[in-house]
Amino acid sequence: MPRKQDRRDFIRLTASAATGIAAIGETSGTHASVSEPAGEIKVRLTAGTKRYSEEPSIRWGTARPGAANSIAFDSSRKYQTMLGFGASFTDASCYMFNQLATADRERLFTELFDTSGMGFSVGRICMGSSDYATKMYSYDEGEPDPEMVRFSIDHDRAYIIPMLRKARQLNPDFFLLASPWSPPGWMKGNNSMLGGAMRRESLPAYAKYFLKFLQEYAAAGVPVDAVTSQNEVDAEQGGKMPACVWPQELEIEFISRQLGPTLRSSNLATKIWLLDHNYDLWGRVLCQLEVPDVNKYVDGVAWHGYSGKPSSMTKVHDAYPDKHMYWTEGGPSYREPRYQTNWTRWARTFSQILNNWCRCIIGWNLALDEKGRPNIGHFDCGGVVTIHSETKEITRSGQYWAFAHYSRAIRRGAQRIDSQGAIGSVSHVAFQNPDGSKAAVLTNSGQETSIVISDSGRSVDVFLPADSVITLTWA
């Protein structure tokens, strides 16, 4: 837990030249000139009892080359362009939202998706049920139906599609990824959605299944921007939940001969992302991208962080710089003692992800109850927010507060800029937004410390409380 706060429980920042203090507001398109040392820096802090708190603004002072404990930002060196931040609209999450009173649901929608709030602009949905669902289902149950005569998304019309429409209404640029946990059981060797593997002879029917899903969702007012062929291609999960193993060669065949050509010949602009699994499978990705008929259909790679290291994304980027990296799943456990306050854990993770060429961060369940339900699987995940089953009280997780420091300041189209400096427990990442404004997120997972940041020939001292996340924005 954070140390007991004293008179320095607020963020203490001092410029290297005496300046006035101004009240902080949201980052806007009107900024001081970057050519003058005395520009304003706006500050947001999460630490102790403060949650994305407005703190006194500070101002740049003159440069101090070679200062100890320093981080230098350099916007002349740019990296990936951001797509956005968000979470997953599992059946369970949408069900929990639907349990709220209309006014409470509307307020939470606005808080999460409107650009005046969290500004979530990316989401993920499950094609059929995942382990976080009210029941197990696909869009074509029963006997084999290779022509998709029985195909129906009626299950999703009750509360999933309405929630997606609302998210898009609040944030018109909302980007949606879809991932299946399992094909219909009749397409698999074990005739079940639980575990097992895909039948090769079912690949043509499965491509039709994807196309039908995309067409039906588009007709319902929810276009899907990207798909993966499988959530966690190498996880069978012991047959305890919807899952499907895809050997590398079979996924190559599906994308190159079925899914890729099917989507390209349609009028849809939906992208294909590989893998949708952990960092340690980066070698599999390299092998698949070596196949020309896979490479030509694939926009990028979807990653999870349950095993391996984020640097795997840089390995793939360096080998195939035209392929984009996306982080598509990860969330807290509701059993974590610090579920509501582990913001530095998540902010440190997010900065590591972004410093390895990743263009988006999508959390796992957007909302669950206090016991991680509804859940037909065997994991103990919590939501980005918790909606308590009896009281309907809303609790925000530490991951939520970490997200706030990124999604509220880093907009779609922002480019990561260079940030250099190794300071013990402090992690950092910085971006330049399309309007020219800059944002840096500093995470201190250790004891309180002071650092110096510099940009464009200017410097300023920054005090970082213990266990804190700070967002700085400036022109």
Residue 201 belongs to a domain with what CATH number? 3.20.20.80
Same domain, 339 and 387: yes
Query: Do 172 and 243 belong to one domain?
Result: yes
The per-residue pLDDT for 15 is: 36
pLDDT of 325 higher than 70 = yes
Helices marked H in 246-391: 248-253, 260-265, 282-289, 292-295, 311-319, 343-354
Assess whether 42 and 151 both reside in one domain. Answer: no
Can you state the percent helix, strand and coil of the chain, rounding each to 5? Answer: 25, 30, 45
pLDDT at 25 over 50: no
How is residue 5 annotated by DSSP?
Answer: P
Q: Do the domain assignments include residue 341?
A: yes
180 with 313, same domain: the answer is yes
Residue that is last in its domain, among 361, 381, 407 = 407
pLDDT bucket at 6, cuts 50 / 70 / 90: very low
Cα dihedral 345, 349, 355, 358, rounded to 10, equals: -150
**What is the pLDDT averaged over residues 401-406?**
99
pLDDT recorded at residue 381: 98
Q: How confident is the model at residue 67 (pLDDT cuts 50, 70, 90)?
A: confident
The 8-class DSSP code of residue 237 comes to: G
Q: Is residue 8 part of a domain?
A: no
User: Using CA of residue 398, residue 402, residue 407, residue 413, what is the dihedral sign?
Assistant: negative
277/333 same-domain check = yes
**Contact yes or no for 438/430 (Cβ under 8 A):** yes
Q: Tell whether 199 and 244 lie within a shared domain.
A: yes
Please tell me the predicted confidence (pLDDT) of residue 454. Answer: 97
pLDDT digits (tens, 9 = 90+) for 190-224: 999 999 999 999 999 999 999 999 999 999 999 99
Q: Which domain does 429 fall in, by range?
A: 13-80+415-474
21 located within any domain? yes
Residue 209 phi, psi dihedral angles, 5° rounding: -60, -45
- Residue 5 falls within a domain, yes or no? no
Q: Give the range among 5-9, 93-97, 105-109 with minimum mean pLDDT.
A: 5-9
Note the pLDDT of residue 8: 34
Structural domain count of the chain? 2
CATH number of the domain bearing residue 64: 2.60.40.1180
Q: Are residues 310 and 199 in the same domain?
A: yes
| pLDDT-wise least confident of 38-42, 101-105, 304-308 | 38-42
Q: Which pTM was predicted?
A: 0.92
30 by Cβ neighbours in 10 Å (0-12 / 13-18 / 19+) ranks as exposed
Residues 173 and 231 in one domain: yes
- Residue 170, domain member (yes or no): yes
Using the 3D structure, point to which of 386, 407, 428 is the last residue of a domain: 407
| Contact between residue 139 and residue 153 where contact means Cβ atoms under 8 Å apart | yes
Q: Which of 357, 374, 407 is the last residue of a domain?
A: 407
pLDDT at 66: 81
Distance in angstroms (rounded) separating the CA atoms of residues 330 and 381: 9
49 and 187 inside one domain: no
Question: Are 386 and 420 in a shared domain?
Answer: no
Residues 262 and 322 in one domain: yes
Query: What is the pLDDT at residue 38?
Result: 54
Tracing tokens 């002879």 back to the chain, one arrives at: 201
Q: Are strands 175-179 and 226-228 parallel, antiparallel or unpaired?
A: parallel
Query: How many residues can be counted in the chain?
Result: 475
Does residue 6 fall inside a structural domain?
Answer: no
Pick the range with the lowest mean pLDDT from 5-19, 195-209, 440-454: 5-19
73 and 94 fall within a common domain: no
- Residue with token string 């499978």: 281
Is the confidence at residue 273, as pLDDT, over 70? Answer: yes
Q: In the predicted model, what is the mean pLDDT of residues 53-61?
A: 97
Q: Which residues contact 21 (CB under 8 A, 6 or more apart)?
A: 56, 57, 58
d(CA 427, CA 423): 8
Query: pLDDT tens digit string along 128-167?
Result: 999 999 999 999 999 999 999 999 999 999 999 999 999 9
- Average per-residue pLDDT in the chain? 93
How far apart, in whole angstroms, are the C-alpha atoms of residue 373 and residue 396? 16
Distance CA 92, CA 126 (A): 11
Residue 103 has pLDDT above 80, yes or no: yes
